[in-house]
């Protein structure tokens, strides 16, 4: 805090008495009242008192001060002042408050402690800046300062930079010089606390705040206006539905209406907002009814959750992809063996209940290793994909296709008897034999062998049926391949 005149004299006397021993200190106060100081000692608060603490240590230490202000090129001169009272009446021959307000860029009547905190005056002495913080603007147009002030002093307006960053840089320098501090004792200016509080509130303005009355915005903070790309006056010319995509307007209107009528205690919902430039954002709204001057209005907090919503949508897509990958073969898009275990057993249960047959076709591409050896594995993958597409083209809606192994495929055909399954296998065999797969400069032709088994004649379990179809497949291969054989 700024020192009172009396406290400053005492501080100077203490410093003179201690000689080269560094002194760090300030006056305690009563917030922004500045009527008296209070010191807590022996369990009681005392006025008109001071505390002196002498510290002796063998540890390395540093005394330091920080500020985060940069002087501007705007220079003014104190032309009339009361140095003892630290009151400046005129700056550049004009009322001091008026001159300062012009430097800050606001009307005199709107000067607040926030301006004094963010825009102090600076005195440059031998290249070093010394802050001259303003305490108040007075009714007679004068300014009262915390620090020593006198006529003829050249002052420069200052603008703040990163408060936290400057303090962090200072502690980095201290830690570099003496190691990590075990104890820090400090005094802070009340205006710095005001500025930190204000900047903290601004930094927390992730939430847009609006008042809604008679279907229109009667107030909005800057965050809400920025969120939707409007100026604050433009926002107050609009209503909530104008900032909502058309498809969500009925939903938003219903939520706001039910909250205003008391049908629901609180309103928390997500909607798609419409920015001024036509872009769509995802927004989350929390609303509460309040009475102001006997009038009923809605205060709403609105958050831009576009990033979160996009991440959630991406997660849903990834989850769907994972579900797809867990049951499908990534190369051919057919079901994999993991899905076979559950789905085949279910089909057999249904067949048992209905008395309908279920046929199984096992297929193996003939001499597939030769394709990989001659044309390469990428060509082999192209052949597998082509055969997978061929299987889908010859499928009924109820048929289920699986990639069973490297070049092995399995078809489950509910409701199809052995003769029909054998006919289906023959159709697929013929289609593949007439298919040419092009890869690079190569034109690849392949054939396949097929084995057919049917529930319940060839087995009553999935394992038994697959084994029967596999046996028929090997019979086809033994009979010079490129043919279909039945388990019976």
Question: Are residues 337 and 402 in contact, defined by beta-carbon separation less than 8 angstroms?
Answer: yes
Structure tokens at 44: 């009681």
- The reply to whether 315 falls in a domain is no
19/73 same-domain check: no
**Shared-domain flag, residues 181 and 213:** no
Distance CA 23, CA 36 (A): 23
What confidence score (pLDDT) does residue 484 get? 93
Peptide bond into 283 cis (omega under 30): no
- How many domains is the chain partitioned into structurally? 4
Percent of the chain surpassing pLDDT 90: 34
* 199-238 CB burial, b ≥16 within 10 A, e <16: beeeeeeebbebbbeeeebeebbebbbebbebeeeebbee
CA–chain centroid gap for 157, Å, is 38
CB atoms within 10 A of CB 448: 26
In this structure, the answer to whether residues 195 and 229 fall within a common structural domain is no
**H or E element at residue 16:** helix 5-18
Asked whether the CA dihedral 101, 102, 104, 109 is positive or negative, the reply is: positive
- pLDDT tens for 319-347 read 777 676 678 888 898 988 888 877 888 88
CATH code: domain of residue 257: 3.30.450.20
**Sign of the C-alpha dihedral computed for residues 362, 368, 369 and 375 taken in this order:** negative
The answer to pTM > 0.75 is no
DSSP E strand stretches across 34-93: 39-41, 44-46, 69-82, 87-91
Residues 72 and 194 in one domain: yes
Residue-wise pLDDT for 59-91, tens only, equals 888 887 777 777 888 889 999 999 888 999 999
Token output for 122: 């600076």
Inter-residue contact 262 to 288 (CB < 8 Å): no
Q: What are the DSSP calls for 149-216, one per residue?
A: --TT-EEEEEEE--HHHHHHHHHHHHHHHH-S-S-------HHHHHHHHHHHHHHTTTEEEEEEETTE
Q: Which residues pair with 302 in a beta bridge?
A: 208, 285
CB atoms within 10 A of CB 65: 9
Q: Is residue 218 part of a domain?
A: yes
CA distance 445 to 310: 46
Q: Which residue has the tokens 């907090």?
A: 301
Sign of CA dihedral 7, 13, 18, 19: positive
The residue out of 178, 204, 230 marking a domain boundary is: 204
Contact assessment for residue 408 and residue 362, using Cβ atoms and an 8 Å cutoff:
yes
> Which SS3 state, helix, strand or coil, does residue 282 take?
strand
Q: Are residues 233 and 186 in the same domain?
A: no
Most distant CA pair in the chain: distance in Å?
A: 118
Q: Does the residue 356 lie in any domain? A: yes
- Does any domain span residue 318? no
Tokens at residue 218, please? 């009667």
CA 297 to centroid of chain Cα atoms: 31
Q: Which of 204, 228, 250 is the last residue of a domain?
A: 204
**Residue 281 lies inside a defined structural domain of this protein:** yes
Distances (CA, A) of 479 to 188, 288, 484, 486: 96, 81, 10, 13
Point out the domain boundary residue: 159, 176, 204: 204
Residue 368: both structure tokens together: 């597939």
Evaluate whether residue 195 is within a structural domain. Answer: yes
Same-domain pairing of 332 and 474: yes
Q: Is 113 helix (H, G, I), strand (E, B) or coil?
A: helix
Burial class (CB in 10 A: 0-12, 13-18, 19+), 105: exposed
Judge if 18 and 74 occupy the same domain: no
Do 275 and 303 fall into the same domain?
yes
Per-residue model confidence as pLDDT tens digits over 12-59: 677 677 777 777 666 666 555 556 677 777 767 777 777 778 888 888
User: Domain check: are 367 and 223 in the same one?
Assistant: no
- CATH code for the domain in which residue 409 is found: 3.30.70.270
Active site residues: 407
CA-to-CA distance for 342 and 321, rounded, in angstroms?
19
Give CA–CA dist 430/450, Å, rounded: 11
Tokens 């330091």: give the residue. Answer: 64
- CB of 137 within 8 A of CB of 115? no
- What pLDDT, on the 0 to 100 scale, is given for residue 195? 59
Range of the domain at 23: 1-56
- CA dist., res. 133 & res. 193, Å (int): 13
- In the chain, which stretches have pLDDT less than 50? 1-3, 201-204, 293
In a domain, 236, yes or no: yes
**What distance in Å separates the CA atoms of residue 304 and residue 234, rounded to the nearest whole number?**
19
Same domain? For 336 and 466 the reply is yes
Q: Is residue 320 part of a domain?
A: no
Q: Under a CB-based contact definition with an 8 Å cutoff, are residues 79 and 151 in contact?
A: yes
Eight-class DSSP state of 139: T
For residues 273 and 240, state if they share a domain. Answer: yes
82 and 171 in a single domain? The answer is yes
Strands 121-125 and 128-132: antiparallel
| Residues pairing with 136 in the sheet | 144
């Amino acid at each position: 805090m700024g020192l009172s005149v009396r406290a400053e004299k005492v501080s100077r006397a203490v410093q003179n008495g201690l000689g080269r021993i560094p002194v760090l200190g300030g006056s305690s106060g009563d917030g922004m009242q500045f009527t008296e100081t209070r010191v807590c000692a022996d369990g009681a608060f005392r006025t008109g008192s001071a505390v002196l603490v002498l510290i002796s240590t063998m540890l390395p230490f540093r005394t330091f001060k920080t500020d985060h202000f940069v002087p501007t090129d705007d220079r003014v001169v104190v032309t009339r002042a009361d140095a003892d009272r630290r009151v400046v009446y005129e700056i550049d021959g004009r009322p001091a408050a008026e001159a300062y307000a012009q430097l800050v860029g606001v009307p005199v009547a709107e000067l607040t402690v926030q301006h004094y905190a963010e825009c102090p005056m600076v005195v440059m002495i031998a290249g070093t800046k010394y802050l001259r913080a303003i305490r108040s603007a007075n009714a007679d147009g004068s300014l009262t300062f915390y620090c020593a002030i006198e006529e003829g002093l050249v002052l420069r307006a200052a603008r703040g930079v990163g408060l936290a960053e400057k303090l962090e840089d200072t502690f980095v320098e201290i830690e570099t010089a003496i190691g990590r501090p075990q104890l820090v004792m400090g005094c802070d200016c009340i205006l710095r606390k005001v500025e930190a509080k204000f900047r903290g509130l601004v930094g927390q303005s992730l939430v847009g705040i609006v008042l809604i009355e008679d279907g229109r915005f009667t107030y909005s903070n800057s965050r809400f206006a920025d969120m939707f790309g409007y100026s604050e006056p433009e926002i107050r010319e609009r209503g909530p539905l104008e900032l909502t995509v058309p498809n969500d307007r009925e939903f938003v209107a219903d939520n706001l209406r039910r909250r205003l009528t008391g049908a629901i205690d609180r309103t928390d919902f997500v909607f798609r907002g419409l920015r001024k430039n036509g872009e769509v954002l995802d927004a989350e709204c929390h609303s509460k009814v309040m009475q102001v001057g006997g009038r009923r209005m809605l205060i709403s907090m609105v958050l831009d959750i576009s990033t979160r919503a996009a991440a959630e949508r991406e997660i849903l897509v990834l989850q769907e992809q994972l579900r797809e990958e867990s049951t499908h073969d990534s190369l051919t898009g057919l079901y994999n063996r993991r899905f076979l275990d559950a789905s085949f057993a279910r089909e057999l249960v249904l067949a048992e209940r209905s008395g309908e047959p279920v046929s199984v076709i096992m297929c193996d591409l003939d001499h597939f290793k030769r394709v990989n050896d001659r044309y390469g594995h990428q060509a082999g993958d192209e052949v597998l994909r082509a055969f997978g597409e061929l299987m889908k083209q010859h499928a009924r809606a109820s048929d289920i296709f699986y990639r069973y192994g490297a070049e092995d495929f399995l078809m489950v055909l509910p409701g199809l008897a052995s003769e029909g399954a054998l006919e289906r296998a023959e159709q697929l065999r013929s289609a593949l034999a007439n298919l040419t797969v092009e890869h690079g400069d190569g034109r690849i032709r392949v054939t396949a062998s097929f084995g057919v088994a049917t529930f319940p004649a060839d087995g009553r379990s999935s394992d038994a049926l697959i084994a029967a179809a596999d046996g028929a497949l090997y019979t086809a291969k033994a009979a010079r391949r490129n043919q279909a054989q039945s388990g019976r």
